[in-house]
A = this chain, B = another copy of it.
Amino acid sequence: MEQKTDISTLSLALMGLIVQQPQSGYDIRKTFATTPMGHFSNSPGAIYPALKRLEKDGWIRGKVDDAQALRPRKVYEMTPRGRGVLKRYLRRPVTRDDVIWRMDDLMLRFALMDGIVGRAATLGFLDSLARELEAYVAHLRSFLADVGASMPAVGRLAMEQGIESYAVNAAWARRAIKELETGA
């Protein structure tokens, strides 16, 4: 029995909302439309099919709620199996590839994990995130030091923008660790 371990960022966002409180696709769309969570999509043509897939995989379960709505709503809730998959996914180590290719995904994982796998795991996550970011920043800086002189000004500036972005994320992660350790 092979275990599928890959989850798209959108699916992760959907599960992250559903795990906090059972809700319908429409509810999710409203959240996406009114908060920065909308960063993860805003089109029904992505959300409804994604919910179907999650249901087909047995990670969420939809119940038709015909009670008082104009049109029957389908309220999804997490299955135990889905919770397990989600926990495993959230506990995956942070890789270099993640920080290069999937920063969005990492931030979403961070936002969800505290409530699902606990504070200790969150702190560990932030620490490894900071390490990977710092290592990557060092790599980019040395690349820039090597070839920067021979690059046109705009090329150098573009690289600096990238480096600064990663660096500010690393600093943020360090600060987040402190806040979570001292705060509640």
Contacts and interface: CB of A to CB of B under 8 A. Distances in A.
A154 interface: yes
A110 B50 CA distance: 34
**Copies per complex?**
2
A161 B100 contact: no
Given A161-B172, A172-B164, A184 B153 contact: yes
A145 interface: no
Interface stretch (A51-59, A66-74, A87-95, A175-183): A175-183
B36 A143 contact: yes
Among the interface residues A39, A140, A153, A159, which one has the most CB atoms of the partner chain B within 10 A? A153
Given A36-B143, A115-B152, A162-B36, A157 B169 contact: no
Interface in A96-141: 100, 107-108, 110-111, 113-115, 122, 140
What 10 A-B pairs are tightest by C-beta distance, nearest first? A111-B158, A114-B154, A168-B168, A161-B172, A157-B176, A164-B168, A111-B154, A107-B158, A153-B183, A164-B172
